[in-house]
Structure 1
């Protein structure tokens, strides 16, 4: 008898279409959330806090809209709005316990929100958690909605909230690279193609190219964000708006804009807006493209700093930690390495998002949970990766100007500048001699009497080689 008394005190009984379950008495979540926890022990993580807030904002806007059209009593509307406002302020986040990867197209996440909001609203109205005769998770909190319009809309709002942080970091990176391009403008180094000496280039030009691609990535991501502003609220189950009042359908997005401060638009075709998740693919693709750009930059920095005595050694990366547990004094390019790994992860996430989007069938894509899990991860790891790239690497890079100069002057690659003056065949002959004997190109030309010293000084001006233009009056061929 005593055992039963303790159980009765600690649990409440809730029921759903599957049957009845004991739910912890103090829990704000309910039976459907509990079943999801039992069914989907996948990542061991919780859904993103911004996604929790986005769900609460949607539920708030829906309650306001249903109140406006006369379908929800004012006391219930106010209680739901207050509960949602508390959640957006950070309360009750610990009650969202479903795994971010789950079956059911996100129904478990939606019901977790419905149950938490309903039980908090019940408390606000003076009732006890679990008394759904006061506020019901489905009939009141989910009124006029479906998982199939709530979840994709919450995903879009969350991404719209996360992406500006990533963009701000990318803009910082752009400025840092641009500053380095100016700092290194007088550093002449050897350009390389296919890992072989090519022709001279200024280190500043290389960093200028890095800033240019980052700027392009910023614009690409900004453009992709526009597709996230188109939401399918009012679509309910499959885009036909079943169980949603006509006025609700017209008012929900404007009210959601008031709540969120975002410039959202309702999909022109709600069936299309419910069936297809191509917008998330577009955004993920833009993020992936940016990750590819950053990884290429990181690769270049690792190469240019390699050695430092037996490699290129053209630049120095700021030393951040010991590079070996066995080799004293070794320092590794750990920040570019972590940027590479962030990129690998984002590229893999993009493939997951692509396949999940492709796997949608008929009127719904059931795989939105994994799309959001991977998309949010990509955005946040990009943000954090760029932050450490800037502060722990880019800002502290220095150039080994003399080393760069020596490599240029002793490279056969400068022979390319001779082509307009002595022709390709003669230039190739000089290159072969230099490769065979190890003599500098300059000395070979003077020894063979191909050009005099005055001509040669102008032709082999390494800075001039980094800009277009030759003097027609000096052409010999």
Structure 2
């Protein structure tokens, strides 16, 4: 059947294939499309990876031209093609599944072919006329997948952290605001889900803000590791098929183009097989996911009820909570963050196993590492934004209920131990539990402290901070 679609014929090691003439990719990308249909997530799902692939190809062209390895016409066409791709053009032509065999060769060739065909168009030729500008000979000149792909992957992860860090700084600020708002809300702190000692709701939210704020710095530290690249190492780090000055010049151009602190790895052979920086980034993602999940567990507990639970805070109502129970509203935003965290934790295990699976001078499992880190980055960024804007900012406190729980709690006795002794305190606590009396009532009844002293010792100023003196 004649569909009216025009095609072109391309040739590679395995023979000839017809491609739709509308495709800017070439024959090796076509084969990868047939071979790898794993995740359904193509490269263009992650624009930062496309952009950093184009950055690497542009930097390579700059270095090859500077060293006299690439003619001016080809250099200008490749450079212009890379710049247009970085501006968002032809992103839909990066079609290969992110998980693939070949250590990323299909991703690298997808980039080489799209850039080559766009460069050919700029030069006035038709797609596939590779005798005038070739994906391998020209766009991939002085490169191997084994240095071009990991370099682009590293920088794409660094660029992806920008959105994550923006969401982290935003939620950190929102939690700080809640800490100030709830500074005077006295409540019971708990350990092992049992009453412990008093604190304020503001102190609780301040702890949330601090634990997330720590990871802002940690992410930056890992980004510095990722900016150490092996570009110029080619196949195994020895620099085969490159000019002796190529690596230095290409990395200098890449630093300028990317506006990132890109530097050469101290040993390119080691850097070609080592996945340490990827493991570190995955680990910090897992760490952040665990912290977020713990915070969401706490928010769910603190808002439980509303009549038969803790009921210390109110989460903003996002949607009806049940198809059978009228009036029920569930903590759907924290629950969704919990599930995101579980996925990120599982992804970290995948990254760890893939990093360990490297053999000799290369790790062929790098694509699954890149996929999981980029996917976790996107999920974490979205989850944090959701938690911030659709939950944290709308939380309110049930101040009177919190204070009544403190008044009724046996945990208050801990503040009196230095003054009445541990044995007396234990006996008072047990009697309070049995008689349903308050700690204060029993202390006064037994004349262990006078009322003025008791009120002073059980005041928020005495219980919430270390004291100058216990006398």
| TM-score, normalised via structure 2 length | 0.97
In 1, the alpha carbon distance for the partners of 2:438 and 2:461 equals 18
Deviation per residue, 1:192-233 (Å, 9 max, x gap): 000000111111111111111111111111111110110110
- Look up the match of 2:377: 379
Alignment partner of 1:393 out of 377, 386, 391: 391
In 2, the alpha carbon distance for the partners of 1:469 and 1:94 equals 64
Deviation (angstroms), 1:452: 2.3
Distance 1:471 1:69, change over 3 A: closer
Is the Cα contact below 8 Å between 1:162 and 1:379 reproduced in 2? Answer: yes
Deviation per residue, 1:249-306 (Å, 9 max, x gap): 2211001122212120011100011010110111111121111111111111111111
In 1, the alpha carbon distance for the partners of 2:54 and 2:163 equals 21
Is the Cα contact below 8 Å between 1:315 and 1:398 reproduced in 2? Answer: yes
Deviation (angstroms), 1:470: 6.7
- Look up the match of 2:8: 12
In 2, the alpha carbon distance for the partners of 1:121 and 1:34 equals 19
Q: State the number of aligned residues.
A: 469
In 1, the alpha carbon distance for the partners of 2:309 and 2:430 equals 24
- Look up the match of 1:421: 419
- Look up the match of 1:32: 28
Say whether residues 1:113 and 2:149 are aligned partners: no
In 2, the alpha carbon distance for the partners of 1:470 and 1:167 equals 40
Alignment partner of 2:308 out of 299, 307, 310: 310
Deviation (angstroms), 1:396: 1.1
- Look up the match of 1:469: 467
In 2, the alpha carbon distance for the partners of 1:377 and 1:93 equals 18
Deviation (angstroms), 1:159: 1.0
Alignment partner of 1:98 out of 96, 99, 111: 96
Alignment of 1:338-417 (within 5 A): 338-417=336-415
Deviation per residue, 1:377-410 (Å, 9 max, x gap): 1111111111111111111111111100111111
Deviation (angstroms), 1:425: 0.7
In 2, the alpha carbon distance for the partners of 1:310 and 1:176 equals 28
Name the SS of the counterpart of 2:245 in structure 1. Answer: helix
Deviation (angstroms), 1:103: 0.5
Structure 2: unaligned runs, 5 residues or longer: none
In 2, the alpha carbon distance for the partners of 1:285 and 1:9 equals 48
- Look up the match of 1:78: 76
Say whether residues 1:43 and 2:36 are aligned partners: no
| TM-score, normalised via structure 1 length | 0.96
Alignment partner of 1:173 out of 165, 171, 174: 171
Q: RMSD in angstroms over aligned alpha carbons?
A: 1.4
Deviation per residue, 1:52-88 (Å, 9 max, x gap): 1111111111111111111111101111111111111
Is the Cα contact below 8 Å between 1:188 and 1:463 reproduced in 2? Answer: no
In 1, the alpha carbon distance for the partners of 2:181 and 2:120 equals 63
State which drifts further: 79-88 or 134-143. Answer: 79-88
In 2, the alpha carbon distance for the partners of 1:138 and 1:382 equals 37
In 2, the alpha carbon distance for the partners of 1:39 and 1:148 equals 20
Deviation (angstroms), 1:448: 2.2
Is the Cα contact below 8 Å between 1:123 and 1:129 reproduced in 2? Answer: yes
Name the SS of the counterpart of 1:246 in structure 2. Answer: coil
Alignment of 1:192-211 (within 5 A): 192-211=190-209
